[in-house]
Amino acid sequence: MKTSKQAFTMIELVFAIVVIGILSAIAIPKFAATRTDAQISKGRADVSSIRSGIMTERQSRLITGDSKFIKVGTDDGELDHNALFGGVLTYGIKDSATAGHWTNTGGEDDENTTTYDYQVADTAVEFTYTRSDGIFTCVSGTDTQAKIYCANLIN
């Protein structure tokens, strides 16, 4: 007598489901950490590009005899022309308050200082640009997670 098996047994199906459950329990937290690491890496690249753009704009101004750093504002020849940092980057950054993106939070002081937030996961990390000295840096604040992200973004 010949028997043929054409389907999985209940034990085989339960075993497969248990294995998939164990693998997903291990993998999902790893993917979440990877997403945060990617947002930090993107933020670091953005900060480097913005700082480099500010210095390049400053050098261009020095050649023409203007010793000031780029002005805060949205008009032509200003920092946020057409998009965030559009005055110093070839392609400005879209203003968005979602994870991995920048948003202008204002705080303009006589066209000298403005603040920006970079969102990492669910934490906003604050940055300031000061025209008087051209410094674009992170403000760590009091939030412990923001301090950690701040250190990771500027180092």
Please give the single-letter amino acid code of residue 82: N
How many other CB atoms sit within 10 Å of the CB of residue 49? Answer: 15
Task: Check residue 47 and give its pLDDT.
Answer: 96
Is 2 domain-assigned? no
Q: How far is Cα 29 from Cα 22, in angstroms, rounded to an integer?
A: 12
Q: How many domains does the chain have?
A: 1
Is 82 domain-assigned? yes
Q: Is the pTM of this model over 0.85?
A: no
Is 123 domain-assigned? yes
Is 120 domain-assigned? yes
**pLDDT tens sequence for the chain (155 residues):** 666 667 778 999 999 999 999 988 888 888 777 888 999 999 999 999 999 999 999 999 999 999 999 998 888 889 998 899 999 999 999 999 899 999 999 866 666 889 999 999 889 999 999 999 999 999 877 889 999 999 999 98
Is 128 domain-assigned? yes
Give the domain extent around 40: 10-154
Task: Check residue 112 and give its pLDDT.
Answer: 84
Please give the single-letter amino acid code of residue 31: F
CATH of the domain at 18: 3.30.700
Task: Check residue 2 and give its pLDDT.
Answer: 67
Task: Check residue 34 and give its pLDDT.
Answer: 86
Is 5 domain-assigned? no
Task: Check residue 110 and give its pLDDT.
Answer: 64
Task: Check residue 150 and give its pLDDT.
Answer: 93
Is 1 domain-assigned? no
Crossing angle of helices 10-63 and 144-154, rounded to 10°: 60
Q: Which two tokens stand for residue 146?
A: 């923001």
Is 4 domain-assigned? no
